[in-house]
Structure 1
Amino acid sequence: MRQRKQFIFILCCIFLNCVQAQINKLGLPFSEYFPSAEYKGGIQNLEITQSPEGIIYVANNFGMLSFNGTSWDIHRLKLETKCRYLLIGQKGKVYVAGQGDFGYFTIDSTGQYLYKSLSNNLPEQYKDYDETWRIFKKGNELIFCTFDYLFYFNTNDELLDVKPSPADIESFYFLNNAIYVNQQGSGILKQSEKGFELIPHGDFFSDKKVSTIIPILNNELLVATQNSGLYIINSIGIKAWNKQNQQFYKDASINTIIRMSDGNFAIGTLNDGLIITDKNGNIKMQLTKGHGLENRTILSIFEDMQNNLWLGHNNGISLVELNNPFSLINEQSGLPGTGYDAFLEDKLLYLGTNNGLFYKNIDNPNNLPENFTGSDGQVYEVNKVYEKLIIGHHAGTFTIEKDQVNLISDIPGAWTFLPLKNHRPYILQGNYKGLALFKKNGNKIDFIRKIKGFSESSRLMEQADNGDIWMTHGYKGVFKFKLNDQLDSVSVKYYGEDKGLPSKLLINVWRIDNKLIFSTEEGIYTYNNDKDIFEHYPAFDEYIGAKCQIISMTEDPVGNIYYVTTDEMGVLEKNGNGQYTKHSGIFNRIKTLLNDDLQKIIALEANQVLFAAKEGFIHYNNQSKSRKVTNLKTLITDVSITHNIDSTISHGRYLTEKGIVTKQPKNAIHQIPYKNNAVRIAYSAPYMEAHERTMYQYWLENSEEDGYSEWNNKTEKEYTNLSEGEYIFHVRAKDVYGDISEESTYTFIITPPWYRSTYAYTGYISLAIILVLLIYFFYEKRFQKKTEKLTEEKEKEINRIDTELKSSEELIDKLKNEKLKAQIDVQNKELATSTMQIINKNEFINSVKGNLNTVIKRSKNQEVKQEINKIIGNIEKNIESDKDWESFSMHFDKVHGDFTHRFKEEFPDISPQEMKLSAYLRMNLSTKEIAHLLNISVRGVEIARYRLRKKLQLERSDNLQEFILKY
């Protein structure tokens, strides 16, 4: 079942599309006129072309014009002569044909266009020619056409050949890789290897002035003459192109013709402006002065990248936007005033404006709307109720009778009409002061009465399936009416915030998909009859937002929904599955043109709507050819220094091995002195449709941390007081349809000020080093002096301390010596005591021995003698014992610095007895005391002293005891 419904829906769509296909453009295309005062050039514009970047070039009386989407510039030839023709060549060169000259435009170091003449390189015999009229590219050759010669150059701008031109020719054409000319008296000739030869049937034009020749299908040629019409040449012969329009073409005086990309033809005339025809020459549209154009004479036509037409007039330039689905029904179309409502019946389109009611036959798009007599004034609604056209007007209510209007009610301000479902054939009217009732009687509609019970202005009304009538007021909320059985009054129920609505302001009611919806400040709502409240309606949230405020809305016969909100406008195209596809960007082109009083969208047929506009109406054909989307570019057009001077450093064009490019190469990064650290950068997007509404974002990397700016329509940005460093300027554009271009960048460097430059820092470092060295040497010298002073003071202090130390040492030595002396004295005393003890002992023993010897002598008893002799022997042993000496020697050496050891080492030959003698002499003992200690006589001591002197090898004068004491 579902598939069947979808199939039926698709068939209906196909049928309705076939029906609506009869409507193409109901009005005039958007166009823009550039007068000579704006582009600051001459009046004649003989040729137009476009660069791959989108820049428009025009051959003008004053030179070559260029338009980048923002501003016009003029570039003069060397002799400032007229520019007749131009051609975009390889590597970005623009070749131009001029008056008495030809050459090309290249660029200088800043990117400024620079003209270079090629005619100067011609041999002298060929320099005498009048004008260059055409430039053709044939393979790798460029052909510059004059009435005297054809000059052939290669792509390196070197002259290859010179050929004579035929005599008495009127113009040159390049078709199918060959040159054609029209020769007076002969006709159309074609260049061959033998020269120029008459083409078959070419003599037909011997007496006609040919303005254009273009190839069409099957090797046929379409030849346009200035005053003799249009003809087709083929292998069979010649025939008129569209006989029924031949006289019109003759009277129009054709100047030029081109074949457009859609197969149609654009014809530029001298007297009747622009004519658009189909492939058979049937006129589809005509634009002329006061009817879409500001000038009726067209000298040149060019179709740009967006399939729009550029027209070169005898005074001015026009852009005609054929590449969008909109057309204007305005005063130039014969419709004065602001648009409010419209209605299409059969082939007649009724248009209501603040100037009255008009009608127009859509079968003839070039005819003008006609006014209904008596309808002057504000029209609010044009509708068909019960098969009868009815008009809501400021002055009352009218019906249409043939070619005039008939007033049926003078109640002022007839807003809208609503056929009553439950009370046919009655009609409810909303007006300034409330409600009124009408009824269809036969073939006419009669006013019945005013309705009691409500007196508010009732502009928007819709009827529910149950017969309830809903009316929304702009600032009072929602009202529900119920008519009584007598149809003379209504009961009214008010709905506001207490019934679920977000507010009572800006509420409108629409019938969409056979359902009543209510648009509010906070989105779309529907009425819940069971709960008697309003609830949010989410069906369109994913497409236009849950909180959007819809200003106007309508649905066409195939279910497409057209809407206008406070933020955007668009169409929701209904798909076979019941879902929608949203298109909104295309409508940006017309949003600012809509009527801001009582906005309205009028569905005419499937995919055909009218938008009420400030100037008439805007027709939208949803099935017209899609707008051609090109690769939108943003160009840097001028970089200037503005600090103290105003000097351009770049025009955004660069000469490379590949030719002229707009992308900045690395070797073209400009260094700007710090003293000129204010930069102005101009930019433009060469997108021509509504170019004044192109928006831009920019960002200076390394200066602005927040990234891209907000979208705005500025075409230049200035930066001042930039610090030194590298900067990258980013810019991108967004056209009127919301398409965003690729990013363009420009890199530049602000060099440091002289005092922060590399040289300065080198100088700073050098000065710093010198300063450091000076400071070092200064402080070194100072340090040396201080050191010397300190050294001197230290030396003095040291000397003082040394002196004190010496005094202390002397004192210490003295104290030590005194202590040592005291110790020595003590030890000497001990030695002396020990020695005296020994001496006393020996004396005592000797005395005892002597007494014992006396006893022996006196005693007669042998045993006693023997015992006494034993005692004497023991005594002698005791006297000779070395134990006393060893003890003495140990103490002696401690007191006298190891005297015995030293003395023996130096004088090893002395005997122990002599060593003892030496020790006793050192102790300063007397000879007698020594005798007792050595147990010898005094004489023995003297002898021992003598022997000791000899061993010590002392002279006679040497005192033995002094020697030993000093040793």
Structure 2
Amino acid sequence: MPNQNLHNLHHITHQAFICYFFLCSVVVLVAQPLQGIYPIQNFYPSDYKAGIQNIDFAQNRDMRLFVANNLCVLSFNGREWGRYNFKNGKKNRSLAFDEDHDRLYVGAQGDFGYFEGDWQYRSLAAAVPEPHAEFDEVWDVFLIGGKTYFCTFQGIYVYDGREIRVLDHEDGLERCFEVNNKLFAQTQKGVLFEVGSNGLNPVYGFEALGGVLTGMIAHEQGYLLFYNSGQMEYRTPMKMEQPYPTLEKALEGTYVNHVLQLSDRRMAIATQTAGLFLFNPQTQVLEHITVDAGLATNACLRSYQDYEGNLWVGLQNGIALIHINSPMRLIGKNIGLQGSGYEGYETNEGAYFTSSSGIYFLPKGAKKSRFLSGTEGPSYGISEVGGRLYAGHHRGLFLLENGQARQVAATDGIWGVKPLRSQPGYAIGGGYFGLYLFKIGPQQVLSLAHPLKGFNLSSRFFEEDREGRIWVSQYYKGLYRLSLSPDLTSVAATPISADSLELSGEQIALSEVEDELFLATSIGLYHLDPENARISATELFSEGPEQQPVYLVAQDQKNNIHLLCDNSVGFYEKVSQDNYQYQPSSLYQLRYHLNNDLLHASVHIRQGILFSANDGFVHYMPAAEDQPTVQQPIVARQVYSTSKDQELYALNPFAPAPGAPAEIQVGPGTKIIKFSIEAFQFSNLNDTKYRYILEGFDERFSPWTGTTSKEYTNLKPGTYTFRAQARSNLGATITSQPVQVTVTPPFYLSKVAQLLYLLLGIAALVTLFNLQRKRYQRKAHRLEQQQQLELRKEQQKLTQIEAEKQHAVDQLQREKVRTELQHVSNLLAASTMNLVVKNEFIDSIKQELQSLKENGRWAEAKQALERIVKEIDTNLKLQEDWEQFEFHFDKVHGDFLSRLQQAYPDLSPNEQKLCTLLRLNLNTKEIANLLSISQRGVEVARYRLRKKLDLEKGQNLSKFILEY
């Protein structure tokens, strides 16, 4: 990581600007009296803290400037310098910025490579093929067709992103030149080659050049060639000529280092000993900027035009920035004028200038003005009365003619004179202590008549309305309406109240625009209605700067109406009648250098308008005002935690500025956050002003300040949005992309902690609830145990009572059951006996029938049958006894027959009866009698029953029936 040291350019302040304000001389061969000089800024080694020699320049998309210094590579953002080197002590000679890969290619002594990222340097020297590894300075770097060309006297090293190919020539090489995206190289024997894909190709007609080339520019069908000897020529394959003898003569005897064609087709020619030449081939206007007027040195090594059109010049002992596209020119010491300027007036014979030192005259076509003897002391307004020029002076009034000044009135100071339209033949002058009446003589020469009585306030701003009333604004004492007496000896003064506008004690400057009277005040521009003595907001200008202090309003000869305000400077261009369009002005850059004592605008010049300055004048040409086409960015370069000594965010110096807002998250320990910004205001000659806001912390933007950083302390947790603003060279406000900063709370205040607190709270509540519940549960349990104990005691008592009761009931139940069983048994026994009797009865009938069959007679048989029928009828009733037997049997033996029938549905009724009798544990004989079968029949029936009951062999039938 290279060592970066940023240096705050505090020298670009009021004092620094004064150092260069008039430190440039320009010779214009097609001269005009008011041709001034370009604004120039000089940067010295003490400013950028590096070496003296600066050879080459480059610039990236965001307008950051890079400079090849002999000790390091410099970067410049419009206010601060950074320094970066290879740590190898080699001198840097050339630069080129590759926007496709965000790289800054560097050529140095015996080395070349590129910077990328956060100034990480990668040398490509190790990739050079071995036969060509030794080389000296890399004087030029060019980016053409996706390739990088490092140009040395030994060869051209071509880097395609992967490898390096070397193009050389047996005669050795001199400098290389890029023209119309083509690369040319000259051999040390003067032959010109074009660098092609297949090597060096000779250029037809350029085999023998007249010296060592230092510049090559496409021109018409050929090329303009510049030699280090100062010679130049125009050459095509067919001819050679000198098309610009003026330029050729100016360069004669100089040593040319570099030639650059500018965007407006002019040529910038840097020389070793004669400074810088600017030449326009179309108008053939030559401008010569030399050390005599303030360049740090005449040794101009190379020039570079940035995206805004400014011209940077690498010097042997510093860097110069020339604002060649500025619509402003500076007039002062360059023409020999000393002191603060007040007014300039251009005539056919030349231009007159009044200043704090006296009156100067610049003859037409002359390079220097001359001081007009006898005008020593402050001089003021110049005006024409009766076809003659007059200048107000600290000692009275001077007549200006034929390049001379003659005093025509000796009074206290006079600010200026104006003819009285209501009184032809007279003029009125505003003085330190009131007004003076002048009479126009036969030769149109003014002579002092007398002071006008009745008004003794300073009258620098005065105007006459259509009715002949005189209006005077005294800067801080208010507005007055003066009426001349019929004998023109005095005036009646009426103060005009402006209390409703809150102008009491505030500055008021009276001006005439479009034959209307206007007041420039500390609260804006107002219109004065002379008829009604009413002051109102002006409706003449429908657009323009917001309401703010207005210090000056003036109308030039092109009917442009110029306003100089507190935070804006511009002019209203007249589009049509009562229709004006506001244009911001580059004069905004110099508003702090305009005359802050007696601010004045001179409109009697052929081009533009002349503003009085602290040193001389600023000549502003609205027609040359070029609205910027390149956005001047303002970006947050770094966000730094001072408390933690930690970089939170940094802008990549080579990558384009981010299009989306940057987002930063900082912890609660970050007590102090410092934002640093870059504005890239190269065209702004003043110190650029900035203001800041941290939304969420600040309620409004901070006051304008010159510092490029802003600190914030003790930010509470939350999300904040940082924005910075700067003013452009036209006074427009430029806003940076926002930077969003989120300050996370300490852990104990974080959402996680809050969630934990919530969970802990819930846990605590749950625990408390559980503790209380357990407490109540224990209490309830104790009560319950006590109650249970008491209940058990009671229960025991009740149980005992119940047991006793149940015992009694059981006893009664047993008695009842025993009684019922006894009754059922009796019934069962009776049923059994009935069955036995029945069977015996049937057996007896059987025997009687058998006897009757054997021994009876019919009569006896008939009687016997009747008796048998009666006995059968009697015994039929006994069938009911079997059914009753079954009922009582099931009741005693638990539904034995029902269960038996359900388990063995195939049992016949007789088999069921056999089972009942076996259940009664009757023997075979008893069963045979009850069933009216033989004992053998009972045995057979038992056998069959065993089979239907699926009894195994050896399993006792009677036992099975008894246990079933």
Q: Structure 2-normalised TM-score? A: 0.73
| Structure 2 residue aligned with 1:101 | 111
Whole-angstrom distance in 2 between the partners of 1:697 and 1:411 = 50
Whole-angstrom distance in 1 between the partners of 2:458 and 2:36 = 34
Whole-angstrom distance in 1 between the partners of 2:700 and 2:436 = 60
Tell me: CA distance 1:204–1:525, structure 2 relative to 1, closer, same or farther (3 Å): closer
Q: CA RMSD in A?
A: 4.3
SS at match of 2:208: helix
User: Match for 2:709 among 716, 720, 732?
Assistant: 716
| Structure 1 residue aligned with 2:556 | 556
SS at match of 1:246: helix
Whole-angstrom distance in 1 between the partners of 2:301 and 2:790 = 118
| Structure 1 residue aligned with 2:329 | 327
Contact (CA 8 Å) 2:396, 2:410: kept in 1 or not? yes
| Structure 2 residue aligned with 1:829 | none
Tell me: CA distance 1:588–1:664, structure 2 relative to 1, closer, same or farther (3 Å): closer
Contact (CA 8 Å) 2:517, 2:527: kept in 1 or not? no
SS at match of 1:125: helix
Q: Does 1:217 align with 2:220?
A: yes
| Structure 2 residue aligned with 1:44 | 53
Whole-angstrom distance in 2 between the partners of 1:318 and 1:807 = 121
Tell me: CA distance 1:72–1:560, structure 2 relative to 1, closer, same or farther (3 Å): same
Contact (CA 8 Å) 1:693, 1:735: kept in 2 or not? no
- The Cα of 1:55 is off from its aligned counterpart by 0.6
Gaps of 5+ in 2: 1-29, 827-964
Q: Where do residues 795-806 of structure 1 align in structure 2 (5 Å cutoff)?
A: 795-803=785-793
| Structure 1 residue aligned with 2:683 | 689
Tell me: CA distance 1:686–1:552, structure 2 relative to 1, closer, same or farther (3 Å): closer
Whole-angstrom distance in 2 between the partners of 1:586 and 1:652 = 30
Q: Does 1:145 align with 2:138?
A: no
Aligned partner letter, 2:103? K
SS at match of 2:542: helix
| Structure 2 residue aligned with 1:464 | 465
Q: Does 1:71 align with 2:80?
A: yes
- The Cα of 1:809 is off from its aligned counterpart by 9.2
Contact (CA 8 Å) 2:677, 2:709: kept in 1 or not? yes
Whole-angstrom distance in 2 between the partners of 1:527 and 1:434 = 23
Tell me: CA distance 1:728–1:213, structure 2 relative to 1, closer, same or farther (3 Å): same
SS at match of 2:131: helix
User: Match for 1:82 among 70, 86, 91?
Assistant: 91
| Structure 2 residue aligned with 1:113 | 119
Q: Does 1:186 align with 2:181?
A: no
Aligned partner letter, 1:64? V
Tell me: CA distance 1:544–1:496, structure 2 relative to 1, closer, same or farther (3 Å): farther
Aligned partner letter, 2:291? K
| Structure 2 residue aligned with 1:931 | none
| Structure 1 residue aligned with 2:63 | 54
Whole-angstrom distance in 2 between the partners of 1:95 and 1:545 = 44
Q: Structure 1-normalised TM-score? A: 0.73
| Structure 2 residue aligned with 1:163 | 167
Tell me: CA distance 1:447–1:716, structure 2 relative to 1, closer, same or farther (3 Å): same
Whole-angstrom distance in 1 between the partners of 2:88 and 2:392 = 66
Whole-angstrom distance in 2 between the partners of 1:547 and 1:761 = 50
- The Cα of 1:95 is off from its aligned counterpart by 0.6
SS at match of 2:46: helix
Whole-angstrom distance in 2 between the partners of 1:498 and 1:119 = 77
Larger mean CA deviation between 902-911 and 332-341 belongs to 902-911
SS at match of 1:53: coil
SS at match of 1:737: coil
| Structure 2 residue aligned with 1:35 | 44
Tell me: CA distance 1:271–1:386, structure 2 relative to 1, closer, same or farther (3 Å): farther
SS at match of 1:132: coil
| Structure 2 residue aligned with 1:254 | 256
**Cα shift readout 1:397-422 (whole Å, capped 9, x = no counterpart):** 11124233212222120111121234
SS at match of 1:704: coil
User: Match for 2:658 among 643, 648, 663?
Assistant: 663
SS at match of 1:744: coil
Whole-angstrom distance in 2 between the partners of 1:730 and 1:566 = 23
- The Cα of 1:564 is off from its aligned counterpart by 2.8
Whole-angstrom distance in 2 between the partners of 1:565 and 1:673 = 45
SS at match of 2:623: coil
| Structure 1 residue aligned with 2:350 | 348
Q: Where do residues 435-834 of structure 1 align in structure 2 (5 Å cutoff)?
A: 435-443=435-443, 445-454=445-454, 455-484=456-485, 487=488, 489-497=489-497, 505=505, 506-519=507-520, 523-529=525-531, 533-536=533-536, 538-540=538-540, 542-543=542-543, 550-566=550-566, 568-584=568-584, 586-605=586-605, 608-644=608-644, 646-648=645-647, 650-653=649-652, 660-663=655-658, 674-676=668-670, 678-690=672-684, 693-700=687-694, 703-704=696-697, 706=699, 712-722=705-715, 729-741=722-734, 743-746=736-739, 791=781, 794-803=784-793
- The Cα of 1:163 is off from its aligned counterpart by 2.3
Whole-angstrom distance in 1 between the partners of 2:180 and 2:199 = 18
Tell me: CA distance 1:737–1:499, structure 2 relative to 1, closer, same or farther (3 Å): closer
Contact (CA 8 Å) 2:151, 2:175: kept in 1 or not? no
- The Cα of 1:652 is off from its aligned counterpart by 0.5
Q: Does 1:203 align with 2:205?
A: no
Whole-angstrom distance in 1 between the partners of 2:685 and 2:616 = 22
**Cα shift readout 1:119-168 (whole Å, capped 9, x = no counterpart):** 112233322222222222331222212212222210x2422x22224535
- The Cα of 1:736 is off from its aligned counterpart by 3.3
Whole-angstrom distance in 2 between the partners of 1:241 and 1:280 = 11
Whole-angstrom distance in 1 between the partners of 2:571 and 2:746 = 58
SS at match of 1:319: strand
**Cα shift readout 1:456-506 (whole Å, capped 9, x = no counterpart):** 33222222333333333234444444445654x123131322999865654
Larger mean CA deviation between 41-50 and 72-81 belongs to 72-81
Tell me: CA distance 1:251–1:352, structure 2 relative to 1, closer, same or farther (3 Å): farther
Gaps of 5+ in 1: 1-20, 822-892, 912-967
- The Cα of 1:395 is off from its aligned counterpart by 1.8
| Structure 2 residue aligned with 1:124 | 130
Aligned partner letter, 1:210? L
Whole-angstrom distance in 2 between the partners of 1:707 and 1:431 = 46
Contact (CA 8 Å) 1:147, 1:165: kept in 2 or not? no
- The Cα of 1:290 is off from its aligned counterpart by 4.9
Whole-angstrom distance in 1 between the partners of 2:701 and 2:609 = 38
- The Cα of 1:327 is off from its aligned counterpart by 1.8
Whole-angstrom distance in 2 between the partners of 1:312 and 1:241 = 28
Aligned partner letter, 1:715? T
Identity %: 23
**Cα shift readout 1:251-277 (whole Å, capped 9, x = no counterpart):** 443322211111222222223322222
Whole-angstrom distance in 1 between the partners of 2:565 and 2:772 = 86
Larger mean CA deviation between 116-125 and 417-426 belongs to 417-426
SS at match of 1:495: strand
Contact (CA 8 Å) 1:201, 1:238: kept in 2 or not? no
Contact (CA 8 Å) 2:205, 2:238: kept in 1 or not? no
Q: Where do residues 359-378 of structure 1 align in structure 2 (5 Å cutoff)?
A: 359-361=361-363, 367-378=367-378
Larger mean CA deviation between 244-253 and 144-153 belongs to 244-253
Whole-angstrom distance in 1 between the partners of 2:567 and 2:718 = 41
Tell me: CA distance 1:497–1:800, structure 2 relative to 1, closer, same or farther (3 Å): same
Tell me: CA distance 1:28–1:755, structure 2 relative to 1, closer, same or farther (3 Å): same
- The Cα of 1:562 is off from its aligned counterpart by 1.6
**Cα shift readout 1:272-310 (whole Å, capped 9, x = no counterpart):** 322222115733433223536343321111111111111
Contact (CA 8 Å) 2:586, 2:625: kept in 1 or not? no
Whole-angstrom distance in 2 between the partners of 1:436 and 1:36 = 56
Whole-angstrom distance in 2 between the partners of 1:708 and 1:58 = 35
Whole-angstrom distance in 1 between the partners of 2:239 and 2:794 = 143
Tell me: CA distance 1:677–1:515, structure 2 relative to 1, closer, same or farther (3 Å): closer
